[in-house]
């Protein structure tokens, strides 16, 4: 760990010094300092991943968890399948899991897109109009405090065993976190910036597209990190509530557990966990690309 903190300091020192502006009369100095900081930043990530101090703790914890699992599983064969059995379940019929994972994933993602678009639209309406805010926000809050798990069976009754109730549940469960974050983001433009553009009489639409929406991006990504895993929860919950549904990992779990095929249950759960992790990883990657300019990313890199 000592190595990392060292590079952190060399990275932080020049960036920390430049905002004081001592070097303004000498622009070249400031340029050199930020360039040096940038190069330290650029080199760091690739190197740090290979360092044992970075990956060893995670791998160690994983091994410990695996050993504990095996100890419990060997003594309670009817409660917990052994890791080898879970692996075998996947290896013997990979296409079965892939197909069902694909169904759940597409339900989760389509529902998420619906929830996302709706939430951004509502957030814009609510921040632009006080009347709409007072009309919509109480409804949104009520919707949020109602457990989606409780709504799911009713939706299945209303919309049947097809994809519709799953998309609605996923959209509902993702809607509120995105809404609240985007509202905060749209209001996060600093007052001096708004004053500058007020004296230019930029239209409300220009302020929205050029100032408010770009400012909200950091909050959008914070929301996405919460909401991507949630969307899978939504899809699985909806599949549980529609036991007759043909496909999906949620269906696999409910059918296999009623038949006491524990290895299949845990194999499906493993698939869900992997899916969630991959989605989270992709969002984080995208965030790094899009928010290069933002302080939070600089701190992570520097």
Partner 1 sequence: MTASPDQIVVRDALKTYGTGAAEVTALAHVDLTVDRGQFVSIIGPSGCGKSTLLRLVAGLETADSGDVTVFGADPDQACAAKMIGFVPQVPALLPWLSVEGNVTLPSKVNRRADALRRTLPGHVHREPADPRALLTKIGLGDSLARLPHQLSGGMQQRVAIARAFAIQADVLLMDEPFSALDEFTREAIQVQLLELWEQMRTTVVFVTHSVSEAVVLSDKVVVMSARPGRIDAVIDIDLPRPRRQGLLESAAVHDYEDLIRGRLQTAWAAGPATR
# chain residues binding partner 1, by CB under 8 A:
35
- Name residues contacting partner 1, limited to 34-53 (CB under 8 A): 34, 38
d(CA 226, CA 234): 13
Exactly one of 1, 2, 5, 25 binds partner 1 (CB under 8 A); that residue is 25
To partner 1, the closest distance from the beta carbon of 9 in angstroms equals 19
201 binds partner 1, rule: CB under 8 A: yes
To partner 1, the closest distance from the beta carbon of 22 in angstroms equals 6
- Name residues contacting partner 1, limited to 213-252 (CB under 8 A): 214, 217
Exactly one of 72, 91, 117, 198 binds partner 1 (CB under 8 A); that residue is 198
Find, among 5, 31, 52, 34, the residue nearest to 298 by Cα.
34
20 binds partner 1, rule: CB under 8 A: yes
d(CA 298, CA 302): 6
Exactly one of 190, 258, 277, 296 binds partner 1 (CB under 8 A); that residue is 190
Exactly one of 10, 22, 84, 139 binds partner 1 (CB under 8 A); that residue is 22
Under a CB-based contact definition with an 8 Å cutoff, are residues 218 and 294 in contact? yes
To partner 1, the closest distance from the beta carbon of 23 in angstroms equals 6
Exactly one of 63, 67, 157, 193 binds partner 1 (CB under 8 A); that residue is 193
To partner 1, the closest distance from the beta carbon of 256 in angstroms equals 48
To partner 1, the closest distance from the beta carbon of 29 in angstroms equals 9
19 binds partner 1, rule: CB under 8 A: yes
261 binds partner 1, rule: CB under 8 A: no
192 binds partner 1, rule: CB under 8 A: yes
Find, among 227, 236, 101, the residue nearest to 174 by Cα.
227
Residues that bind partner 1 (CB under 8 A): 18-25, 27, 30-31, 34, 38, 190, 192-193, 195-203, 206, 210-211, 214, 217, 292-295, 298
């Amino acid at each position: 760990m000592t190595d990392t903190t060292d590079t952190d300091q060399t990275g932080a020192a020049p960036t920390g010094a430049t905002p004081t502006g001592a070097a303004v009369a000498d622009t070249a100095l400031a340029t050199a300092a930020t360039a040096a900081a940038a190069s330290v930043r650029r080199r760091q990530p690739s190197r740090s991943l290979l360092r044992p101090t970075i990956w060893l703790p995670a791998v160690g914890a994983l091994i410990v968890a695996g050993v504990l699992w095996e100890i419990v599983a060997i003594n309670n064969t009817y409660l917990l399948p052994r890791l080898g059995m879970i692996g075998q379940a996947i290896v013997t019929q990979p296409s079965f899991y892939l197909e069902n994972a694909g169904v759940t994933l597409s339900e989760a993602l389509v529902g998420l897109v619906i929830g996302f678009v709706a939430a951004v639209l509502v957030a814009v309406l609510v921040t632009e109009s006080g009347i709409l805010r007072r009309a919509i926000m109480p409804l949104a809050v009520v919707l949020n405090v109602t457990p989606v798990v409780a709504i799911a069976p009713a939706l299945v009754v209303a919309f049947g065993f097809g994809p519709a109730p799953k998309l609605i549940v996923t959209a509902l469960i993702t809607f509120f976190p995105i809404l609240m974050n985007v509202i905060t983001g749209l209001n996060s433009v600093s007052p001096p910036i708004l004053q500058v553009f007020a004296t230019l009489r930029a239209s409300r639409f220009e302020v929205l597209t050029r100032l408010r929406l770009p400012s909200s991006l950091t909050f959008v990504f914070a929301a996405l990190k919460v909401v991507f895993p949630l969307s899978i929860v939504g899809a699985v919950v909806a599949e549980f509530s529609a036991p007759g549904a043909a496909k999906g990992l949620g269906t696999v779990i409910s059918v296999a557990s009623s038949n006491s095929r524990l290895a299949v249950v845990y194999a499906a759960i493993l698939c869900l966990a992997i899916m969630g992790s991959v989605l989270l990883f992709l969002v984080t990657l995208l965030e790094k690309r899009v928010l290069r300019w933002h302080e939070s990313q600089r701190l992570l890199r520097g």
